[in-house]
């Protein structure tokens, strides 16, 4: 279960008492959640007006940075392709797994100096996340182009004889080259029609060279045959072949072109390998940066919301709960009982009550400050 509830409640006589009460209610007798204190430093409060405006801005920033975190994680999974089981071990924050980072959260004073105003700190995070988002777009676009071009070439060299490139199948000696009158054609014949082909190919048009057919290559369904004829009979031959369900491949032997294709494939393959390592390293570093930024936004939101709800001087305890999946509803009820005195209006719209016509799914409201942190960042299960 990688869902956390980040909540706060005002200090009773002390913040420690608030923590002890919550622990007794949720763990001592009923094991509803695993809990940690969530350490938020003494941030600059500023004016009430600024806090109200900042509350909305932080909500938008939270959504944006979460989307950046998910994009980087998802792209990591795309780049690792066949090693998707390795994705999770690459998604670290500050060198530790995400659960460890969140449960032992410490504010990063170097990145986000607390002497700055809350607005400045949120702007630092916003700029950082925007930069990561833009860089990701540029890097992903370059790598995807390379990968797409390579896949197109690989596709050309695979698939059925009707569509695949024939460059790696045929050899120079399979063709009559540089003849003014003669030409070698390549024909795809279904395996079930080999006997028909041998019987009829010489009569599909006038001027087919007798006994000139040769089987060059087979796949599961068909064979590739060469046949030599006079150039003036080509159109007639193609037409008759089609009537007999033989497919003439449009192919001219050109050594230079074939060599260029092979070199292009080698080049793309080498480029992809060269870019892979640095790209994965960049994704790891920037996933960590984005995730750390995201959790700092959660901390900012808890701080701002707690000051707005519980007033000054700043006196609240932030707490991180990891709910036991089976007991989530029960945990909500216990927290509601514990904190309903904080806000009488929350009694009417407690989200654990199902009131028809009242859609609380978008904006869950509880008598205590609450934000969810979901660490399940990928669209697939690893």
Q: Is the peptide bond before 338 cis (omega within 30 degrees of 0)?
A: no
Q: What is the per-residue burial (b if ≥16 Cβ within 10 Å, else e) of 305-324? A: bbbebbeeeeebbbbbbbbb
Tokens of 126: 């916003």
Domain ranges of the chain: 3-150+273-349+360-374, 172-252
Which residues have a Cβ under 8 Å from the Cβ of 368 and sit 6 or more positions away? 7, 8, 9, 335, 339, 342
Is 201 within 8 Å of 213 (Cβ atoms)?
Answer: yes
CA distance 229 to 206: 8
What pLDDT, on the 0 to 100 scale, is given for residue 347? 52
Query: Would you give per-residue pLDDT tens digits along the chain (382 residues)?
Result: 589 999 999 998 899 999 999 999 999 778 899 999 999 999 999 898 999 999 999 999 999 999 999 999 999 999 998 776 788 889 999 999 999 999 999 999 999 999 999 999 999 999 999 999 999 999 999 999 999 999 888 888 888 898 888 888 899 999 999 899 999 999 999 999 999 999 999 999 999 999 999 999 999 999 999 999 999 999 999 999 999 999 999 998 888 888 888 898 899 999 999 999 999 999 999 999 999 999 999 999 999 999 999 999 999 999 999 999 899 999 999 999 999 999 877 654 444 454 444 444 445 789 999 999 999 887 654 3
What pLDDT, on the 0 to 100 scale, is given for residue 80? 92
First vs last C-alpha separation in the chain: 14
- State the CATH architecture for 3-150+273-349+360-374: Up-down Bundle (1.20)
172-252 — its CATH code? Answer: 3.30.70.100
Is 168 within 8 Å of 157 (Cβ atoms)?
Answer: yes
pTM: 0.80
Which residues have a Cβ under 8 Å from the Cβ of 109 and sit 6 or more positions away? 41
Residue with tokens 């000696």: 173
What pLDDT, on the 0 to 100 scale, is given for residue 274? 95
């Amino acid at each position: 279960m990688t869902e956390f509830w980040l909540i706060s409640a005002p200090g009773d006589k002390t913040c420690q008492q608030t923590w002890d009460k919550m622990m007794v209610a949720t763990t001592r007798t009923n094991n509803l959640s695993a809990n940690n204190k969530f350490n938020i430093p003494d941030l600059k409060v500023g004016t009430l007006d600024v806090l109200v405006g900042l509350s909305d801005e932080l909500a938008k920033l939270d959504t944006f940075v979460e989307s950046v975190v998910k994009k980087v994680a998802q792209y990591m999974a795309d780049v690792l392709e066949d090693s998707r089981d390795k994705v999770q071990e690459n998604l670290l924050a500050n060198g530790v797994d995400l659960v460890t980072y969140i449960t032992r959260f410490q504010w990063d004073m170097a990145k986000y100096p607390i002497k700055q105003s809350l607005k400045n700190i949120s702007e630092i995070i916003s700029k950082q996340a925007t930069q990561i988002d833009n860089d990701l777009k540029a890097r992903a676009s370059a790598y995807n182009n390379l990968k797409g071009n390579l896949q197109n070439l690989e596709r050309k060299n695979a698939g059925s004889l009707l569509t695949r490139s024939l460059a790696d199948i045929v050899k120079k000696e399979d063709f009559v080259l540089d003849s003014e009158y003669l030409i070698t054609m390549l024909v795809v014949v279904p395996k079930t029609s080999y006997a028909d082909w041998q019987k009829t190919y010489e009569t599909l048009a006038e001027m087919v060279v007798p006994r000139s057919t040769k089987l060059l290559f087979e796949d599961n369904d068909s064979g590739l045959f060469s046949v030599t004829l006079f150039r003036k009979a080509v159109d007639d031959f193609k037409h008759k072949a089609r009537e007999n369900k033989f497919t003439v491949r449009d192919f001219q032997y050109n050594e230079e072109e074939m060599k260029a294709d092979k070199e292009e494939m080698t080049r793309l393959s080498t480029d992809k390998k060269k870019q892979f390592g640095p790209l994965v390293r960049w994704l790891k570093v920037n996933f960590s940066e984005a995730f750390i930024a995201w959790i700092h936004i959660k901390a900012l939101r808890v701080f701002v919301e707690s000051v707005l709800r519980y007033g000054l001087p700043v006196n609240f305890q932030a707490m991180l709960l990891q709910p036991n999946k089976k007991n989530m509803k029960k945990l909500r009820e216990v927290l509601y009982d514990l904190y309903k005195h904080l806000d009488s209006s929350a009694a009417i719209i407690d989200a654990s009550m199902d009131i028809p016509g009242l859609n609380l799914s978008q904006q869950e409201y509880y008598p205590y400050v609450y934000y969810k942190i979901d660490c399940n960042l990928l669209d697939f299960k690893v």
